[in-house]
Amino acid sequence: MSGHSHWATTKHAKAAADAKKGKIFSRIAKEIMLASKVNADPNTNPALRTLIEKGRKANMPKDNIENAIKKGAGTLEGAAAFEEITYEGYAAGGVGLIVNVLTDNKNRAAAEVGHIFKRNGSDFATRGSVSRNFERKGTILVASDAKMGDTPITEDALMEIVLEAGAEDLVATDDGYEITTSPSDYQAVVTALEQKGIPTVSSEVAYLPIEGTMVAVNDLALAKQILKFVNAVDDNEDVQEVFHNADIPDDILEQAQAEL
């Protein structure tokens, strides 16, 4: 996808699945419950504060957010003991997939996700065989017309703020300013932006394809096959995120999504 970052490629390819609000709310609620188990006060738990903001941006009802916090803190019944699991595998064309799962039943998750892989002519890969082509990074997107208070933010000013907070890089893309951090510095950079009153479009710790490992997908039929697989995995209730290294041109991606 010329002109787009690897992060944007992954995001755009998941757009159809991410549009399902109920699924988004469920995912964020699980993350909020986990963060609230550590500390249920967003004033002193920046990770929880970031997740609450993520919920608000997704138009998650306030009651859903508050109930997730209470469940995580143990003041409201219904909290489950979630376990984080990562599966690896391949889609058509040799495209690598990393599937992050957050589940209260790992046997169910393994069986259901494994069934989706088999239904799409694949299977789980050996641990590390796919993930070696990815790196875990904090990724934060700031809109190109974002303001710091009433003042439009410049690239130089934004770079100074985020680098001082520990960011690794800032790149101007078609989608705005993409900030990259190590996972350990991610929260500090998010907090620095928050303190300066600079809004973010989105932010997360994600698996990004390492430079040179993207798989070019220039065939519509192949693109549809890959996206169908990604969406099927993404639809599973235990799946939190699906990352891949397919490099699909915008025109093919849009047509494939329209035909699915």
At residue 3, φ and ψ (nearest 5 deg) are 90, -5
Please provide the DSSP assignment of 117-172 as one string. Answer: HHHTT--BPPTTTTGGGEEEEEEEEE-TT-EETTEEPPHHHHHHHHHHHT-SEEEE
Handedness of CA 172, 173, 174, 178 (dihedral sign): negative
Residue 197, pLDDT > 50, answer yes
The whole-number pLDDT of residue 181 equals 97
Distance CA 99, CA 88 (A): 6
Measure CA 69 to chain center.
Answer: 21
The whole-number pLDDT of residue 23 equals 83
Cα dist. 132→3, 90, 125, 127 in Å?
A: 25, 13, 12, 9
The whole-number pLDDT of residue 193 equals 96
Side chain identity at residue 57, one-letter code = K
What are the pLDDT digits (tens) for 24-54? 899 999 999 999 988 999 999 999 999 999 9
Give the contacts of 139 (CB within 8 A, at least 6 positions apart): 7, 178, 179, 180, 181, 203, 204, 205, 206, 208
Residue 2, pLDDT > 90, answer no
Q: Mutual orientation of helices 186-195 and 155-165 as an angle, nearest 10°? A: 130
pTM: 0.85
Question: Is 230 exposed, middle or buried (CB count within 10 Å of its CB: 0-12, 13-18, 19+)?
Answer: buried
Handedness of CA 184, 190, 196, 201 (dihedral sign): positive
The whole-number pLDDT of residue 16 equals 47
Helix (H) or strand (E) holding 97: strand 96-103
The whole-number pLDDT of residue 212 equals 93
Helix (H) or strand (E) holding 84: strand 83-90
Average pLDDT, the chain: 89
Residue 14, pLDDT > 70, answer no
- Asked if residues 167 and 103 have their Cβ atoms less than 8 Å apart, the reply is no
Q: What is the pLDDT averaged over residues 198-210?
A: 92
Listed residue (177, 165, 169, 161) closest to 211, CA to CA: 169
* Secondary structure of residue 248 in the 3-state scheme: coil
Give the contacts of 254 (CB within 8 A, at least 6 positions apart): none
The whole-number pLDDT of residue 232 equals 94
**Residue matched to tokens 């040179």:** 212
Distance CA 26, CA 175 (A): 26
